Amino acid sequence: MKKIEAIIRPSKLKAVQQGLKDAGIPCLTVLPASGSGLQKSFTKIYRGTEQSLTLQQRTMIICVVSDENLDKCVDAILDNGSDGQVGDGKIFIYNVEDAIRMSSRVRGNEAIH
Between residues 84 and 36, the one the model is more confident about: 84
Over residues 4-14, the pLDDT tens digits come to 999 999 999 99
The residue ranking higher by pLDDT, 46 or 4, is 4
**Cα 26 from Cα 64, distance rounded (Å):** 11
pLDDT digits (tens, 9 = 90+) for 12-45: 999 999 999 999 998 999 999 988 777 666 666 6
CA 77 to each of CA 15, 18, 28, 51, 96: distance values in angstroms, whole numbers, following the listed order: 9, 10, 12, 33, 19
Q: pLDDT band at 52, cuts 50/70/90? A: low
Q: Is the pLDDT of residue 73 over 70?
A: yes
Which of 2, 35, 26, 17 shows the shortest CA–CA distance to 79? 17
Q: Which residues pair with 43 in a beta bridge?
A: 52
